[in-house]
Structure 1
Amino acid sequence: MIRIPFACLLLFGTAISGLAQTTETSPFFRLRDTVSHYAGPGREAEAPQVDFVTLAFFGPFEDPPSGEPERSDLDPWRAAQMAVEDANDQGGYQGIPFQLHPIWSENPWGTGVAELTQLVYREPVWGIIGGNDGASTHLAEQVVAKARLTLVSPTASDKTINLANVPWMFSCLPHDAKVAEPLVVEIQHLAAEKPWVLVSATDHDSQLLTVELKKQLDAKHLVPSYHFQCATDSNVDTKLVQEVRNQQPVLVVVIADAVRSSELVGQLREIGYKGALVGGPAMGRRMCRIEPGQRGPLAYPKPVEPTAQWTAFENRFENRFSHKPDWAAAASYDATVLLIDAIRSSGLNRARIRDGVAGLSPWRGITGTIVWDGLGSNHRDVTLKRPTQ
């Protein structure tokens, strides 16, 4: 038997540990630091003669039957219509009017994306605004990657959309890593070394934001006392809400879609929880109906930074649709205007329109300044909104 002195083992282990630390802090490649380019053909093509400049809108657009509540948020579609109307009032594109062609289905993975594919290959479509979340935007991204067509996402913060490195993809919102940053600061401030609970939903966007949030929390050694998950396809379980309350947390973090967020907040306040609540950006959507009396100490990320033009847009929208727009509606307006600006500066050529969208950065709209990173994601910082009682 060969005997190795303990001191030698200790030195060998220390050397290996140091090597591992060096490797971890020096990544070989970071995709986020690259710049996505389109180097293919198409820029030489001449503009065709058209009667309308058509943009596709990939998201819910149909009003519910009379007397029934909205099942989907239609405000992004309404805001995009306003943007097109404004552009046409300004002369359209060299006198040719813009028009929106909406495509959607309750099954976007089947009928919806199939109809979008048929449209962009059958008709002269010059860009797409959509989808309404990260999952549907991924579907549209697969279409534009082959069709060589610009896709501008107003409302998706899923960072993997841009990490797919498709040069036709642009996201108006900061990605989840940016959204998580102010949440981590708030959690550290409110619950450092105190019990707190995380509740997350199982939909696509909530899961991805939760993964990003937990990654940043782990880096600061912030761990929730409990992490509960609630299914998106059913009502919030009252037993789950009571279990959260039983932990006696100083803070509850809720990462869910707009409807689940309002249900969770409402039920927590109803059973007597008076502590702090921190949520995801979905709490700022119109479909998240948190009553003033239910708010208490409440904060959530605000993915937009309203500019001086916000008030005028808000007043016009409210006068027309009888309610105020949320950040998603405003972002949809900006995405449509940005795409129209690129068409006006680049002409009716898909490849040059893509270049035009990339070249507009920094671009200032009603939701703040959009500055693309190398992959077409807006890397603006995110702040928290604290609604009053």
Structure 2
Amino acid sequence: MRYVFIILLVLGGAAARADTPGSGTLPPDWKPPFEVDEETLKILEESYKAGAYGTPNLPLRTDENYAHTPRDLEPFRHVQPHKRHFLVQMEYTGPGRAIPEPKDLKTVKIGFIGPIEPTVSVATGGKSHEEWLGIPMLQGCQLAIEEANARGGYLRRKIPFELVVKNDNGLWGSSGNVIIDLAYKDEVWAILGTIDGANSHIAIRVGLKIEIPMMNSGDTDPTFIETNIPWVFR
């Protein structure tokens, strides 16, 4: 829930920005449109100061070992490697922030893709079995949209958010088609989902070509963000 809320905050809380961010200083009266925790406030402030093309001055987390792997399960643990990869947090440097907003909007559409309807798939070995994960994920997204709209929706334009829901049927590659529909037919601004690792990896590669933010709240595959796609978050 927290991560779903943050992406809505980044999209909607931008109303507090001035017309020309990136000067390196914040206006004395600048503040988010509603109360946020210190960590989120720091992210918003640094993003504001960086502007559309700069890199926010935010520290990157460094893990001690890969994916919290127990010492006994580390390969070649008696040998110290020259370099360990994927221990430093992936960095989002802000591509796309300078793209102008579309005009004549009635709502800001956020896409959702997840396993919410039973299907039969070769990828899942028969009948799908992840609806018990997908439905709560959808409910969390719906609640986040309701909370954001209760605070005024997309504050810059004073219009509500709208959730566009699509089912992830588990067929290999089908998630890519759904991402295309969400981006070009439904014209969503960002996408939430999905759970299945195979479909998620396909979806984010399509998202890379489309250049659309994708927030994942259900895929636990540690390699998910190692693709280093700047539009992907978890």
TM range (shorter): 0.5 to 0.7
Percentage of identical aligned residues: 28
Contact 2:170 2:199 in 1 (8 A): no
* Aligned counterpart, 1:54: 109
Cα gap change, 1:31 to 1:87, in 2 (>3 Å): same
Is 1:44 equivalent to 2:98 in the alignment? yes
- Structure 1 unpaired stretches of 5+: 1-20, 65-69, 172-389
Is 1:32 equivalent to 2:87 in the alignment? yes
Is 1:87 equivalent to 2:87 in the alignment? no
- Tell me by how many angstroms 1:130 deviates: 0.5
- Structure 2 unpaired stretches of 5+: 1-75, 120-128
* Aligned counterpart, 1:163: 226
The AA in structure 2 aligned to 1:109 is: W
TM-score by length of structure 2 reads 0.53
Contact 1:129 1:152 in 2 (8 A): yes
Distance 2:114 2:221 in 1: 16
Cα gap change, 1:136 to 1:159, in 2 (>3 Å): same
Contact 2:118 2:131 in 1 (8 A): no
Q: Which runs of 4+ in 1 moved over 3 A?
A: 34-40, 61-64
Aligned to 1:120, the other structure's residue is in SS state helix
The AA in structure 2 aligned to 1:48 is: P
Cα gap change, 1:54 to 1:39, in 2 (>3 Å): closer
Contact 2:115 2:195 in 1 (8 A): yes
Aligned to 2:205, the other structure's residue is in SS state helix
* Aligned counterpart, 2:179: 116
Aligned to 1:26, the other structure's residue is in SS state coil
Distance 1:34 1:83 in 2: 26
* Aligned counterpart, 2:131: 72
Distance 2:170 2:130 in 1: 14
Contact 1:113 1:139 in 2 (8 A): yes
The AA in structure 2 aligned to 1:26 is: P
- Tell me by how many angstroms 1:152 deviates: 1.1
Higher helix fraction: Structure 1 or Structure 2? Answer: 1
Higher strand fraction: Structure 1 or Structure 2? Answer: 1
- Tell me by how many angstroms 1:98 deviates: 0.5
TM-score by length of structure 1 reads 0.33
Aligned to 2:207, the other structure's residue is in SS state helix
* Aligned counterpart, 1:7: none
Contact 1:103 1:116 in 2 (8 A): no
Contact 1:56 1:127 in 2 (8 A): yes
- Tell me by how many angstroms 1:159 deviates: 0.6
CA-to-aligned-CA distance 1:185-237 (integer Å, 9 cap, x gap): xxxxxxxxxxxxxxxxxxxxxxxxxxxxxxxxxxxxxxxxxxxxxxxxxxxxx
Larger Rg: 1
Distance 2:232 2:130 in 1: 28
- Tell me by how many angstroms 1:56 deviates: 0.8
Contact 1:54 1:101 in 2 (8 A): yes
Contact 1:103 1:115 in 2 (8 A): yes
**Aligned ranges for residues 1-389 of structure 1 at < 5 Å?**
24-28=79-83, 30-33=85-88, 35-38=90-93, 42-49=96-103, 50-62=105-117, 72-73=131-132, 74-94=135-155, 95-171=158-234
Distance 2:101 2:186 in 1: 14
